[in-house]
Each structure stands twice: as C-alpha cells, then as structure tokens.
Structure 1
Amino acid sequence: MKVADKVAIVTGGGNGIGGAIAAKLAAQDARVVVADLDSDAAHAVADGINAERSGAAVGVGADVSDTAQIKQLIQRAESEFGRVDLYFANAGITGVSGLDVTEDEWDRSIDVNLRAHIRAAQLLVPGWVERGEGYFVSTASAAGLLTQLGSATYSVTKHAAVGFAEWLNITYGDQGVRVSCLCPMGVNTNLLNSPGDSDDMLARLANRAVTTAGDVLEPADVADVVLDAIADERFLILPHPAVLEMYRQKAGDYDRWLKGMRRYQHSLQEGLQ
C-alpha cells in the first residue's frame, strides 16, 4: 500500500516507535491522528509534524484499552481527515515481572497489549472489507515470537498479539485487508529505558536481556523498516534480522532452544548479582 493521501491512526504515538511512525507517515503525505495516554506527548508529536507539513496531524489523548475511546479516535480521524485507511496498534506496556502477578495487573497487560488490538479491529475491519481496502499494523515484539525473560505478562500478551495478527491476515487478507506485525528487539524508547524497580531482579533481567540480545535501534530506523514493509505488504516486520534465525532455531529444536534460553538466563542473573 502507498500511504500518500491515506488517513492513519497511530496509538502510543507520543514517543518512541509510534512517534517515529507518525512522523514518517506524514513525510510520505499521509494524514495522521497521533494518540497517546499522555495527551501532552501526543500533541507535541503532532505539533512537530505540523511544523514540517501544516495540517498533517492532530494529537489526541486516549486510553486504547477502552473501546469507547477507540471509537472516539476513529470519529476524530474521520471528522478531521476522512475515513481511516491504516491503524497502528502500537501502544504497549511492559507489564509486571515474575509469577506473583495480581489479576488486575494481568488484566491491564491483556487490555493494552492485546484487547486494544482486538477492539480496534472489530471497529474498523468490517468497513475495510466493505470498501475492499484497509491496513492493520500490530506492534508486538520479538518476545511474541521468542519469549521475554522476567515478565510473563509481557511475553504472553505479545505472543497473543502475534497470534491475533496472524488470524486477521488469514481471515481477511483475501478481502482487501492487509495486516502486518512488528516484532523488534531492543529499541531506544521509554519502554526500554524504564525497567521498573531497580531492586526487582526479574525486571532488571528482562531489561538486560533486551539490551544484550542485539543492537538497540533508534525509533526512526524502526519506522523506516515499517514503512518499507507496508509498501511491500509484508506480514512479519523484523527490524532486527537476527530474530528470524532465532525463531527458526526455536522451531527446529524446541527443547534445545529452551535449554539455551535457561543458560542465557543464568548467565544474565550472574552478571546482575
């Protein structure tokens, strides 16, 4: 899909990958609704875009775990720019480390990292099928293909996000709906740089695993890869090519891969003591 003259919503757009994607979309002549839980951050990104291309973006504060607020985002996009062509389900949270996680903490991770994608798709996909065109981009993580040391909530919800994106692609791909799934490793964002309580060994382990597994990329570099993938209509977006080889190793010998991950975990734990 060519994004020029298209209308896009980018959630989690107040910084990091989302902010970079919003800017790259506008640079390619798309019009963008920048949504973020932090309203000030969303407006700041939109203002920066509009300084380069007047009227190309609006910023909106929104909690995308709330269906009503997703509806409002879509309505705002339609009133400002016209019908929505692309939706970037990019908002995410790291969740909580360990097994001792409350029901409320699990619910929050599931709502933000998974149900927000489902709810947006429920609102948009039927109209896209009727029109014969639309694009849904899910930001998951390499953790959705591999795993995340330390945080079960993050690993599980990112696996689920990949699974939902796959299902959307298979179910609606022949009806004009394009679906891509972004699965990066380390990216220099607030999410990476906020590992949580420094006394929480598992939170520190999760952060250390991401920063040592491969290069930590800049959000703008990831956004370039995303826009290239959309142009090619590729499903799996891997800014870190090594993830594909790791995924193949996992599939090729699951037990060996699990043993290797345990060894990797032990080595990181020793380095943090």
Structure 2
Amino acid sequence: MRVRDKVVVVTGAASGIGRAMAVRFAEEGAAGILVADLDEAGAAAVAERIGDRAKAVRADVSVEDDVREIVDTAERSLGQIALFCSNAGIITGHGVEEASDEEWSRTLAVNTLAHVYAARAVLPAMVERGGGYLLNTCSAAGLVNCPGDAPYAVSKAAAISFAEWVAIHYRARGIGVSVLCPQGVRTGMMREDLKDENLTARAVISSGAVLEPEEVAGHVVEGLDAERFYILPHPEVAGFFQMKAGDPDRWLSGMSRFVESLAR
C-alpha cells in the first residue's frame, strides 16, 4: 500500500500522530488528503500547510453520521478513498474505581466504535472497486494493557480485535488492514499525562523511548508498504506481546510487580 496518487482520510489529524501522518502522506505524493478532527481550526491549519490537495472537516468520530460525512466529503471533493486512517483517540488516566460511566462510554465510542463506523462507511465501495486499505490506530495498550487507565486498555484491545475480524473476513475481497500500535509518543495526550505525573505516564516512560509523531509516521509509511498487520514503532512491544502469549500467568505477575513499583 503506497499513497502516491491516492486519496487518503486521516481522523484525529489536527495534532500528534494524525497531523504527522497527513503531512507525511502529502510528502509521499498522495493525490488528496481529507484532514478530519473535532478541532476545526487545527484541522484547517494542517490542510493549509499541505496545500490544495487537502481538505479539512470538523467531525466527532464517535458519531456515525459524522464519519459518513467525512467519507462523503472526501469522495465528492477529492475522489475515491484508497486509505482510511481511523486515528482519533482519547485517554482518561482513570482506573476501574475512578472512571465514570460517561468516560467508559465516550472512550469506547472514540477508541473502538469509530473504527466500526469507518469500516461501515468505506468497505462497500472499496469491495465494489476490488481494493482499499484501513489503518486503525490502536496503541500498544491494546496488546499489552495500560497501567492506570482501564477504559483506554479495554477500548484499544477491542479495536485490535475488530481490525482482526475485518482482516479475516475481507482480505480475500481485496481489503488490506493494519493496526498502528505505538507505545510512548510525544503528543498532546502524552504531555498532559506527564504534567499530571500519573501512573499511565510513568509506565510509558519506564517501558521504552518516547517517540516524536514524525518518527511514528515514518514507521506507518514503511509498514503500509510492507502491508504488515501490526505496525510497531517500538520494537520492544513485540517482545512484550510474545512474553504475554508464552506464559500469561508469569506476565501478569510481572506486570503487577511493575505497577506496584511505579505506585511507590
């Protein structure tokens, strides 16, 4: 999957990984880029930076009608969508006792259901054309959990499971699927966590390097070119995942000790 001369949609593209991907796709020669975000001014600024090939749209990806409007606008203004990057996400920093029902619902809607809405909106046309690609930003938390943030961990694991389901059922129909699973990335969400010095931020910092969004975008381009399902900007995540699968009880014990050490 190469984006040159293709139309790409990126959600959550006003900042962080989404912005970096949109800009990198433009550098790679994408024919058109739809920049979608709840932050309308931020999305417009990214589109302006890219130039005439880009169009900005305000959208709340937790609302299915908004996701369908993203798709309709992209196809009307830019052409047939070859790659849909469902990237928008939120974090709470709360555990099972602190997270409210509203936080659970909102996090699951943005981090999981948004991928479902995107697939519903683009798959029929992609299948009819005989090809298309979905890139879902799911986080390493979906593979190896997330200390301190229960809704985030659960929603990201569900997002990976959904992407697997789509890959299983649609690969033979010409649809490619990748999940982007970074660990620490220097985004707005990460900076807010660092400011609060909460458990999630301490766990991320202790687990590996904190990458710049532009580095992650580079890994995305390389991973799409290879059409790998798992795109892992932090290679150590693969090792963590293998340890988890190889001996779950030992891995859980180790994670418990890790969390206890961070809480001291």
**Common fold by TM > 0.5:** yes
Instruction: Give the superposed CA RMSD.
Output: 1.2
- Runs of 4+ displaced beyond 3 Å: none
Give the 3-state SS of the residue equivalent to 2:189 in structure 1. coil
1:74 is matched with which residue? 71
Give the 3-state SS of the residue equivalent to 1:192 in structure 2. helix
Give the 3-state SS of the residue equivalent to 1:79 in structure 2. helix
**Contact 2:220–2:231, Cα closer than 8 Å, also in 1:** yes
The letter for the 2-side match of 1:15 is S
Q: What is the distance in 2 between the residues matched to 1:117 and 1:242?
A: 26
2:61 is matched with which residue? 64
Q: CA deviation at 1:23?
A: 0.6
1:122 is matched with which residue? 120
Give the 3-state SS of the residue equivalent to 2:145 in structure 1. coil
Structure 1 unaligned regions, length at least 5: none
The letter for the 2-side match of 1:254 is P
Q: What is the distance in 2 between the residues matched to 1:99 and 1:175?
A: 40
1:24 is matched with which residue? 24
**Contact 1:96–1:105, Cα closer than 8 Å, also in 2:** no
Q: Normalization by structure 1: what TM-score? A: 0.93
Q: Does 1:255 align with 2:253?
A: no
Q: Does 1:90 align with 2:87?
A: yes
Give the 3-state SS of the residue equivalent to 2:201 in structure 1. helix
2:10 is matched with which residue? 10
Q: CA deviation at 1:96?
A: 4.6
Q: CA deviation at 1:223?
A: 0.3
Return the match for 1:180 from 178, 188, 195.
178
**Contact 1:168–1:179, Cα closer than 8 Å, also in 2:** yes
Q: Does 1:217 align with 2:214?
A: no
Return the match for 1:113 from 98, 111, 114.
111
Q: What is the distance in 2 between the residues matched to 1:221 and 1:88?
A: 17
Q: Number of aligned pairs?
A: 262
Q: CA deviation at 1:84?
A: 1.1
The letter for the 1-side match of 2:257 is R
Q: What is the distance in 1 between the residues matched to 2:222 and 2:250?
A: 34
**Contact 1:12–1:35, Cα closer than 8 Å, also in 2:** yes
**Contact 2:93–2:198, Cα closer than 8 Å, also in 1:** no
The letter for the 2-side match of 1:29 is G
Give the 3-state SS of the residue equivalent to 1:8 in structure 2. strand
The letter for the 1-side match of 2:91 is T
Q: Once the two structures are aligned, what percentage of the paired residues are identical?
A: 45
Mapping of residues 187-206 of structure 1, within 5 Å:
187-195=185-193, 198=196, 204-206=198-200
1:267 is matched with which residue? 261
- Cα deviations across residues 32-66 of structure 1 (Å, max 9, x unaligned)? 0111110111111111111xxxx111111110111
Structure 2 unaligned regions, length at least 5: none
